[in-house]
Amino acid sequence: MAGSNKINITPPRWLLAELTYACPLQCPYCSNPLDYAKYPSELSTDDWKRVLSQARKMGAVQLGLSGGEPLVRRDLSELIRHARELGYYSNLITSGYGLTEERIVELRQAGLDHIQVSIQASTQELNDHIAGTTSYEHKREVAHLVKKHGYPMVLCVVIHRENIHQMQQILEMAEELGADYLELANTQYYGWAHANRDLLLPTQEQFEQAEAIAQAYKERVAGKMKIYYVVPDYYEDRPKACMNGWGTTFLTIAPDGVALPCHSARELPGLDCPNVNDYSIEEIWTESKAFNFFRGFDWMKEPCRSCDEKEKDFGGCRCQAYLLTGDMYNTDPVCSKSPNRHVVQEAIDSAKSASLAPGEKPLIFRNSKNSRDFA
């Protein structure tokens, strides 16, 4: 296996607990695997408690409770209470769908620190279309309630070609709702987003225009609302420092207990990702093949191997290298030094011509029926 040399292993700091793949929404850029319907089993309450305890002991402190939609887990409060007792800072990453005031209070009492609510657009029509459910008004109500009950309020809006023209209105909506943080997440093209890329990827002009609006707004609301801008890496010339380096910081546990170095790693071939039903978190983190696979720099090919920036971006994203070039050891093709940079340009061109073509093909919505077709 790659990366078998002895490397100084740092402990995990972030634990992303994907509690379930079930979700009432059908967002066509969902980061869950396309074939998630193949993995219907879910860890029990006791399994999750054991995972939380073991990861905390190693040093994990930030806990993301995600999915799917984590609110569908009936034991959510119990898990949050356990996490709070262990000293985690817990973040609930939710669509807000079905979240009542009563439950917001209950989660607060259990020790939840923060609720991140996603909104798909600044208008009801577009939000409900993208989400595949009628949810806009309820999400706005949830945002008010989150604020009312003393949580820091984080709004997350995923940006793509269907809503990027609403950038100004999205910023105004976030300010009006009293968001403490606004995450403007340009779509990352994996999983469902990759399948829908021709319909979701904005043009460079659209990106630049939207980014300028966001930057100007950022200055205007400094000290009041923090804006996190997740860059669209197809339009960058250096890759993102994915996961802060493989197996250095982030640990994801999928609903069925599979431990992943990043939430897309399930798509990579031959990693044999271990399951928490078979191994402890410590064994998984320090000894498993999957978590050692891309640790350090020995696995790298050229141009990464001799690159003076390799310690900054770790060669970019392994999942993107695999998805776009078919070889997970390659330099992330977003990098302008990559001999495969042309595949990114081709994707940009393809999306642009799709946007100009009459009668666009429909989006593939994320639901179990479509997922079974990919399985």
Partner 1 sequence: MTIDPDKNIRFSPTHRLQWEEAQQKDVILYPEGMVELNQSSAEILKLCDGNRKPQQIVDELERKFETTGLRNDIIAFLEVALKNGWIKQD
Query: Interaction with partner 1 in 161-220: which residues (CB under 8 A)?
Result: 180-181
Q: What residues are paired with 259 via a beta bridge?
A: 253
Residue with tokens 């197809």: 234
Minimum CB separation of residue 223 from partner 1 in Å reads 6
How many other C-beta atoms can be found within 10 angstroms of the C-beta atom of residue 195? 20
Q: How far is the CB of 57 from partner 1 (least distance, A)?
A: 8
Range 117-151 burial, b when 16+ CB lie within 10 A, else e: bbbbbbeeebbbbbbbbebbebbbebbebbbebeb
Residue list 113-152, contact with partner 1 (CB under 8 A): 113-114, 116, 150-152
Give 14 or 235: the residue with its C-beta nearer to partner 1: 14
Please pick, from the candidates 22, 35, 72, 89, the single residue that binds partner 1 as defined by CB under 8 A: 89
Question: Looking at beta carbons only, is 247 or 315 nearer to partner 1?
Answer: 247
Residue 231, both tokens: 């860059």
CB nearer to partner 1: give 35 or 283: 283
User: Minimal distance in Å, beta carbon 61 to partner 1?
Assistant: 6
Residue 58 or 364 having the CB closest to partner 1 = 58
Q: Which is nearer to partner 1, 22 or 61 (CB)?
A: 61
Stretch that binds partner 1, among 40-48, 108-116, 129-137, 306-314 (CB under 8 A): 108-116
Q: Of these, 4, 44, 85, 87, which contacts partner 1 (CB under 8 A)?
A: 87
Identify the CA nearest to 185 among candidates 112, 314, 93, 262.
Answer: 93
Q: Which is nearer to partner 1, 162 or 183 (CB)?
A: 183
Least distance from C-beta 231 to partner 1, angstroms?
16
Among 91, 118, 196, 252, binds partner 1 (CB under 8 A): 91
Complex with partner 1: residue 57 or 361, whichever CB lies closer: 57
Nearest Cα neighbor of 158 from 197, 182, 193, 186 is: 186
8 in contact with partner 1 (CB under 8 A) = no
178-191 per-residue burial string, b: 16 or more CB within 10 A, e: under 16: ebbbbbbbbbbbbb
Q: Which are the contacts of 55, defined by CB distance < 8 A and separation ≥ 6?
A: 12, 15, 251, 281
Min CB(243)–partner 1 separation in Å: 14
Phi first, then psi: what are they for 256, rounded to 5°? -90, 5
Q: What is the residue-wise DSSP string for 31-62?
A: -S-TTGGG------HHHHHHHHHHHHHHT--E
- Contact between 58 and partner 1 by CB under 8 A: the answer reads yes
Which parts of this chain interact with partner 1 (CB under 8 A)?
A: 11, 13, 57-59, 61-62, 64, 87, 89, 91, 113-114, 116, 150-152, 154, 180-181, 223, 226
